[in-house]
Amino acid sequence: MIKSRNRRQKIAAAPAAVRLQTPAHVRWATLAILLVAALILSWGMYAAGRNAGIPDRIEPPREERTETGPEMERLSQSNARLQHENDELRIKMAGLDQQLQMDQAARQDIASQVKTLQGENTRLKEELAFFQNLGSAPGKTGQRVSIGGLKLEKGKLPGEYRYSLLLVQSGVRGKDFHGNLEFAVNFQQNGEKMVQSLTSNETSDDDPSKKFDVSFRFYRRVESTFWLAPDAIVDSLQVKVFEKGETQARLMQTVNLSL
């Protein structure tokens, strides 16, 4: 009993270990101080290495630097030469384009002249045949007037029309023929057939007459232009020849529109 009592007293008398718990803010402050110290140490090592001669960036070898200069100069010269050649080619192309336009205009002008000459040639042939027929007609010694080469054609503009004819006095031509002409155009408009008399270009607005005065001894060529509405469809043109002082036409002729 005495031993067990002494043992309990020794156990009761043993010292107890007490651990104090560190606050959280103290631990975070200590960690921050350690991080700052690590950063300062790292920066100091970097600065020491830089001062010791460690380069910040790797520079190309001296041989590469020396070769880059001539190569850049060669490329620059080649670029300048190509630009100069392109400028010359552009100038040549502009000149060729202008020459081509001039050639096309000249070709069109020549084609227009050829067409005009062909029409004039055809007209002269028709007039020659007309004169030959008049000269070879037997038994016509009296004075009379004939119409030859009557034509009606479209003009270049919408509603424009052109006509032409040749008046010839055959037989004994001892005196001039004095008379006048009357023209009437037959056309369709809005589904209706219509007739319109043509006014002489030489007739004034105060003169209501629509007759074309003519005077000639051998022959007289008559040609003119008239206008109608663009939607009008022209069928034919009629011409009457009157001798001065007469109310009855000496002759009359009709021609259809040439297509």
Q: Tens digits of per-residue pLDDT, 20-43?
A: 566 776 777 777 788 777 788 777
pTM value is 0.50
Terminal C-alpha separation, the chain? 157
Going edge to edge, which strands form the sheet with 160-170?
Answer: 144-154, 160-170, 219-227
Question: Looking up tokens 């001892």, which residue turns up?
Answer: 174
Query: Where does 140-256 sit in CATH, by number?
Result: 2.60.40.2420
Instruction: Please give the pLDDT value at position 194.
Output: 94
Residues 6+ apart with CB under 8 A from 218: 168, 169, 173
User: What pLDDT is attached to residue 161?
Assistant: 96
**Are residues 197 and 209 in contact, defined by beta-carbon separation less than 8 angstroms?**
no
CA–CA separation, 219 and 238 (whole Å): 20
Q: Report d(CA 177, CA 242) in Å as an integer.
A: 10
* pLDDT of res. 224: 92
Classify residue 211 as exposed, middle or buried by CB count within 10 Å of its CB (0-12, 13-18, 19+). Answer: middle
Q: Which residues of the chain have pLDDT under 50?
A: 2, 17-18, 139, 141, 202-209
Domain ranges in the chain?
101-136, 140-256
